Amino acid sequence: MRVVTWNVNSLRARMPRVDELLAEHAPDVVLLQETKAAPEQFPHLELAAAGYTAVDHSGGRWAGVAVLARSDAPVEAADAVVGLAGSPVQDQARWVEVVLDGIRFISVYVVNGRHPDDPAFAHKLDFLDAMAARLAEVRQLGPVVLGGDVNIAPADVDVWDPAAFAGGTHVSPQERSRLAAMLDLGYVDAVRHLQPEGQAFTWWDYRAGAFHRGRGLRIDLFLVSDDLVGRIASAGIDRDFRKGAKPSDHAPLLLELAEADGRDDSTDP
């Protein structure tokens, strides 16, 4: 099973690249963030033309998340959990869950936080607490694959210049300890699991040629419940989608799960 998580920075602006990704990788499930659409603007028709159904948590011009699935195994809004209980920003669309093929897929777009002195930073910490509470709950319900923009660089190796970020958001002990506590609930950071050391950035600023200078952050993650760890066949970004015409500032993250019997079916006809 092939899963993608991608902060597209506006789904409507990114549809050409999303179409490209769906055609190239033929993912079974796609977790999107920053769709930036009102519910009535969500491009269901365009996605259907590409062979995908979607459930979305859309809140207007900002944020927005969605789960896509292939039309031969469609997702139904009635089966989705839309929104995060206990979120301090209930008016912002940042959380959606769907169970597909026995796995609960979650797309999350964590509050940015802006600056440690900004009220938004307290909202971010509260959002992370609500997220941890929900991850503890769903861990008891079966296998989980969460993908999203967590807006936290888990460690200094996940930051191109830790000195430049010192004292800022995304790297603070408050954020990192909350992320670590989520892993302690029984989840694995899939990319770090396969690549214990070294940089594996997922985001680069549009400005100042950051991508080509290697100035990035690893802030998009797959958190996989530990009962699925043995099925992680591969996990990493596709750099090509950070290049070319009108890229998102995030690269898509791809996760390959072997079938439950341990066999990788990705090459089956």
Residues found near DNA in the complex (CB under 7 A) = 7, 9-10, 12-14, 34, 36, 38, 60-63, 111-112, 114-115, 120, 149, 151, 168-170, 203, 206-208, 217, 219, 246, 249
Residue with Cβ nearer DNA (96 or 217): 217
Could you tell me the smallest distance in angstroms from the CB atom of residue 58 to DNA?
11
Rounded Cα distance between 192 and 221, Å, is 9
In this structure, are residues 48 and 71 in contact, taking their beta carbons and an 8 Å threshold?
yes
- Active-site residue list: 109, 149
In this structure, are residues 96 and 55 in contact, taking their beta carbons and an 8 Å threshold?
yes
Residues in contact with 41: Cβ distance below 8 Å, sequence separation at least 6, in sequence order:
12, 58
In this structure, are residues 89 and 127 in contact, taking their beta carbons and an 8 Å threshold?
yes
Whole-number Cα distances in Å, 51 to 23, 66, 97, 241, 267: 10, 15, 20, 20, 20
Could you tell me the smallest distance in angstroms from the CB atom of residue 118 to DNA?
8
Residue with Cβ nearer DNA (67 or 171): 171
Could you tell me the smallest distance in angstroms from the CB atom of residue 95 to DNA?
14
Rounded Cα distance between 171 and 26, Å, is 34
Residue with Cβ nearer DNA (71 or 90): 90
Could you tell me the smallest distance in angstroms from the CB atom of residue 31 to DNA?
14
Residue with Cβ nearer DNA (74 or 88): 88
Residue with Cβ nearer DNA (97 or 149): 149
Closest CA to 68 of 89, 92, 49: 49
Could you tell me the smallest distance in angstroms from the CB atom of residue 38 to DNA?
6
In this structure, are residues 214 and 255 in contact, taking their beta carbons and an 8 Å threshold?
no
What string of H, E and C letters represents the secondary structure of 234-245?
A: EEEECHHHHCCC
In this structure, are residues 199 and 165 in contact, taking their beta carbons and an 8 Å threshold?
no
Could you tell me the smallest distance in angstroms from the CB atom of residue 33 to DNA?
8
Rounded Cα distance between 123 and 101, Å, is 33
Residues in contact with 212: Cβ distance below 8 Å, sequence separation at least 6, in sequence order:
none
